[in-house]
Amino acid sequence: MRKKIVAGNWKMNLDYNEGLALFSEIINMFKDEATGQQHAVVCSPFIHLHSLVQLAKGYHNVGVGAQNAHQAEAGAYTGEISAKMVKSVGAGYVILGHSERRQYFGESNELLAKKTDTALAHDLTPIFCIGETLQEREANQHFDIIKSQLVDGIFHLDATQFGKLVIAYEPVWAIGTGVTASSDQAQEIHAFIRKEIAAKYNQQVADDTTILYGGSCNPKNAPELFAQPDIDGGLIGGASLKSRDFIDIVKVFN
């Protein structure tokens, strides 16, 4: 049975005290209002990670993650954070390949394959992001783009390693724009991803893989999106910065 996950991506927002205050609200509301078996994950800036892990102790369905990690174990990479460092503070997840990392920092599928290997070596759960731009969708290239991101980024893993991943489909044209893929559009891609996983590994691996939708997901559209058979939750951007909105999305799985 694959996990239902709502993961918040705070991006480059919130100073230290603001982050702690928001997370305290989130875990208290989760405790009081989440009645299902769903998992909430908050991926914060690095400065918050240790403190958020401490606050989350005792909440087995609340996880903490980083938004990136370097592919090298250690070295002369000023300003970077290693997977070992992320794990050492107790975080369990790391976002890899977010469209903003691909766009603004030039991260390639090949680089992300290395980052994935390093994250898995340190027992982190990668939330591996894939998705197409508006130009690629309008050119009817979206299936080819998604397949290449899977093949070049994570299909080098064996079935056991792959089973430790979470995948997030993010239509780049719907991130931060207020535009959301329709539930049919999102389901179509999620089903395609699961079909490609089954073809590469087997149907059981595909059925066990959690695939999240990330693209302007909010409390209003989450119920329709999460009702789709191949959508197992969301990677939430702006709405994760508001405790009420984030928990209302989490509660869709109650």
Q: What is the pLDDT of residues 46-78, one digit of tens each?
A: 999 999 999 999 999 999 999 999 999 999 999
Kindly state the average pLDDT of the residues 188-207.
98
Asked if 212 and 127 count as a contact pair (C-beta separation under 8 A), the reply is yes
pLDDT of residue 112: 98
Active-site option among 39, 98, 142, 190: 98
Q: Is 170 a catalytic residue?
A: yes
Calculate what percentage of the chain has a pLDDT beyond 90.
93
Mean pLDDT value of segment 19-38 = 97
Q: Which residue has the higher pLDDT, 89 or 172?
A: 89
Told to judge if 98 belongs to the known catalytic residues of this protein, a careful annotator would answer yes
- C-alpha 70/C-alpha 181 separation (Å) is 31
* Least trusted range by pLDDT, from 17-26, 131-140, 185-194, 227-236: 131-140
Q: What are the C-alpha distances in Å from 254 to residues 59, 106, 167?
A: 17, 39, 22
pLDDT of residue 94: 98
- The stretch 125-144 carries a mean pLDDT of 95
Judged against a pLDDT cut of 80, whether residue 210 lies above it is answered with: yes
